[in-house]
Structure 1
Amino acid sequence: MRIAVYGAGQMGAAHVRHFSVLPDTTIAGVADADERRARSAAAAVGATPCPDLDSLLALRPDAVVIVVPNIHHAAAAIAALERGVHVFCEKPMATTVQDARAVLRAVERTRRIYQLGFNRRFAPVYTGLREILAGGVGVFSGTMKMNDGDMRTPVWFSDPKISGGFMYDTAIHLLDLVRWLLGPVQEVRCLTRSSCYPDQDDAVMLLRFHSGALVAFTTCGHATWTGPLERLELFGDHAALVTEGFERLTYTPARDQPAVTRDFAAFPVPERLGYAQETRVFTESVARNQAGGPTAEDAFRAVEFVDACYRSAAGDGAPVRLVPYQLDS
């Protein structure tokens, strides 16, 4: 399978490494507006450096990995899909619901595989958490946090005209994750402020799920890099599930039972963070021509969720009900 990588920054170079080690997979080309970065990433795996997406797609890859600034994700994905190329795209799918819907329609029209880079769905700490929940543990309430130490890398991170906004770049990971764990969200209330950067780099949310569960979520972009940078605490009938970063999962099944902790710190980083698993799932999906990872609809729902958060924030925390947009409208 021939893979092309569009974007050779930090994450682009990481995806070059992750895909290049898969069996029966080669990196055909790497494109970046920075010619030096494209050459460096391509040389590491014997690929062809390219200056732009058109020249990259001219190499006739089976699939393209999109790792450019957020504002360009939708147009790049549609261009690749229309040329019959399968797409793995880093989050977000798009920075507006309208653009996300356009990508979704392109996926439906071309019948190509589209997978979004929600790596947490593959990380052992979170797959382990989901397995426990699937065993019948009911969740009544919870808290979660996800922080960035700063918003200086990449250079466009704090510019909402490029990133779409802080929640499209960082918080979207846990917003997708909590939907995956607890089911559809019924209502969101969100407050934001600009604290250290031009963007709204602090957000506090209250989420109400269709199940009745209530979850509070805080996220900021100026927390320093002291871990854990993300943490979930979910509470049931005298039961608790707690994650600490990607490293630990602790489950207390009942009031009079001891806590059980699973530690993933010794796992190799690509496996611990879910990157190795998501790349394998994508290539297997392409080989079978059957979606297996976070799909285009999952990606669309995540954009819809972030959009609802920003609409609530614009109304000073007014409740916004998530009445899903009709995908075929």
Structure 2
Amino acid sequence: MSDDYADVRTGIVGLGNIGRYHADRLVDLGVPLAGGMDIDAEARASFTDHYDAAVYDDYHDLYDDVDAVVITTPNKFHEEYAVAALERGLHVLLEKPLAHTIESARRIADAASTAEGTFRIGFNNRFLNAVQHIRNRIENGELGEVTHVEANYVRRRGVPGRGTWFTRKEISGGGALIDLGVHAIDLSMYLLGYPDVKEVSGVTRSEFGGRDDYAYLKMWGPDSGPGTFDVDDSASAFVRCAGDRTISLETAWATNRPATHEFVVRGTEAAARFDLKDGDLTIHSAGSDGQDHLLDTAVEMRENDTHTDEQRAFFDAITTSRDIGGGIDEAMTVQRIVDAIYRSSEGGGTVTLGDAET
């Protein structure tokens, strides 16, 4: 625990699984958990029993008693809660994605651009030790010019509960792409240095979630059948950025292949391949000194809790005013890429993003 954050009274908006996941880590970090808000009475009762914290059914009352909020509600409600918090001058950590639509995302961005408080989006995977190690190697020039990222975030059967808000487009804004794909897009852009995006081409598919014979195993929620499933369960995309830097993306909740969370970061001097789930990291290079050779170097990393490190960076930014990245500009770039993939899939072609959009 730390006393560094003892003056930042923090609330949770949305007291479901991810809200409690954040609350556990706030307590471990020594952040004062000032309360939580949810419209569901059962969620409020469970939260206050577990954390001995105040609970509210109206976010205005919570906002009166806190300095910062972590927002973990379904995507459709991000705008209402985030904009109100930003207009109150609160610090905001908003779980990904930024919003369920590009229009809603823009309204959050407008509020964040003039807000006094710190705003960060919940791209926790960039805090993985393996990712930070690669980023350090890139900054030191060890990979040369990084030109392409192969990004895979693929489950075999992992729809997060058919019938939950995740599988209803009106509330979620999309399926696997907006749920898992945003992580892969942010990581790829982060390792490329967030260059300007020029063109996006992609296809989203719904091949498994609407089937009566979907093989449900175990995920975030219960399986209620295909009746309300109206989102994508996989996406393939290609993103072209300034300087001919590119991203190839594969993301899926369900597909007939082994699950993979492998990323390959290709540079002119070396490449890095890592697994997002188990942290395995290998550096691939070649040499001509002595005898020509190929070199594969395994790098063993200490495991870390990415949500804890994300929260630590967020509260460090609040208490020191240090820029940690992951702010509104990067969040909007990810949202625009997601929106462009959906538009490309619907229109059957490449979407060009102008300077005003990127």
- In the superposition, the TM-score normalised over structure 1's length comes to 0.89
Alignment CA distance shift 1:239-1:200 (3 Å): same
Match of 1:117 among 117, 122, 134: 122
Aligned partner of 1:259 among 286, 293, 296: 296
How many Å apart are 1:230 and its aligned residue?
1.4
Q: What amino acid maps onto 1:298 in structure 2? A: E
The 8 Å contact of residues 112 and 328 in structure 2, kept in 1 or not, is answered as yes
Question: Which has more radius of gyration?
Answer: 2
Partner deviation per Cα, 1:153-207 (whole Å, 9 max, x = no partner): 4821111111111222210111111111113232111012211123121211122
The residue type paired with residue 34 of structure 1 is: D
Structure 2 Cα separation of the partners of residues 62 and 293 of structure 1: 20
Q: Percent identity?
A: 28
Match of 1:64 in 2: 69
Question: What does residue range 80-229 of structure 1 map to in structure 2 within 5 Å?
Answer: 80-136=85-141, 137=143, 138-148=145-155, 149-153=157-161, 155-166=164-175, 167-182=177-192, 183-184=194-195, 185-197=197-209, 198-223=230-255, 227=259, 229=260
Deviation per CA, 1:133-159: give whole Å up to 9, x if none.
223222344422112442234821111
Shift of residue 252, structure 1, vs aligned partner: 1.4
- d(CA) in 2 for partners of 1:48 and 1:295? 29
1:211–1:32 Cα change, 3 Å: same
Distance in 1, Cα, partners of 2:45 & 2:356? 42
Q: How many residues align?
A: 318
Q: Taking structure 1 as reference, are residues 258 and 291 closer, same or farther at Cα in structure 2, changes over 3 Å only? A: closer
Give the AA of the match of 1:206: F
The answer on 1:304 being equivalent to 2:336 is: yes
Q: Secondary structure at the match of 1:195?
A: coil
Q: Residue 344 of structure 2 aligns to which amino acid in structure 1?
A: S
> Counterpart amino acid of 1:174?
A
Could you tell me which residue of structure 1 aligns to residue 227 of structure 2? Answer: none
What stretches of structure 1 move > 6 A for 4+ residues in a row?
none
Asked whether 1:233 is paired with 2:264, we answer: yes
Q: Could you say what the CA RMSD is over the residues aligned between the two structures, in angstroms?
A: 2.2
CA distance in 2, matches of 1:281, 1:12: 18
In the TM superposition, what whole-angstrom CA distance separates every residue of 1:25-67 from its partner, at most 9, and x where no partner exists?
2101011222222222233332112223223223x20001100
Report the CA distance shift for 1:28/1:226 in structure 2 as closer, same or farther (over 3 A): farther
Confirm or deny that 1:7 pairs with 2:24: no
1:113–1:291 contact (8 Å) kept in structure 2: no
Distance 1:4 1:153 in 2: 27
Seen in structure 2, the aligned counterparts of structure 1 residues 262 and 161 have a Cα distance that, compared at 3 Å, is same
Deviating more after overlay: 206-215 vs 190-199: 206-215
One-letter amino acid of the structure 2 residue matched with residue 299 of structure 1: A
Answer whether contact 1:116 1:293 (CA < 8 A) is retained.
no
Q: Is the 8 A contact 2:90 2:116 kept in 1?
A: no
What SS does structure 2 have at the residue aligned with 1:254? Answer: strand
- In the TM superposition, residue 225 of structure 1 has moved relative to its aligned partner by 11
Structure 2 vs 1, CA of residues 293 and 214 (structure 1 numbering), >3 Å: closer, same or farther? closer
Aligned-partner Cα distance in 2 for 1:284–1:141? 31
Tell me the distance in 1 between the aligned counterparts of 2:115 and 2:243. 35
Tell me: CA distance 1:258–1:326, structure 2 relative to 1, closer, same or farther (3 Å).
closer
Report the equivalent of 1:323: 354
Cα 1:215–1:300 shift into 2, 3 Å: closer
| Paired amino acid for 2:184 | L
* C-alpha contact (below 8 Å) 2:158/2:254 kept by paired residues: yes
Q: 1:35 aligned to 2:41?
A: yes
Aligned AA for 2:103? Answer: Q
- The secondary structure found in structure 2 opposite 1:106 is helix
Task: Say which SS state the counterpart of residue 244 (structure 2) adopts.
Answer: coil
For residue 254 of structure 2, give the secondary structure of its aligned residue in structure 1. Answer: coil
Tell me what 2:25 maps to. 18
Q: Which amino acid is the alignment partner of residue 50 of structure 2?
A: A
For residue 325 of structure 1, report the CA deviation from its aligned partner.
3.0
**SS in structure 1 opposite 2:186?**
helix
What SS does structure 2 have at the residue aligned with 1:253?
strand
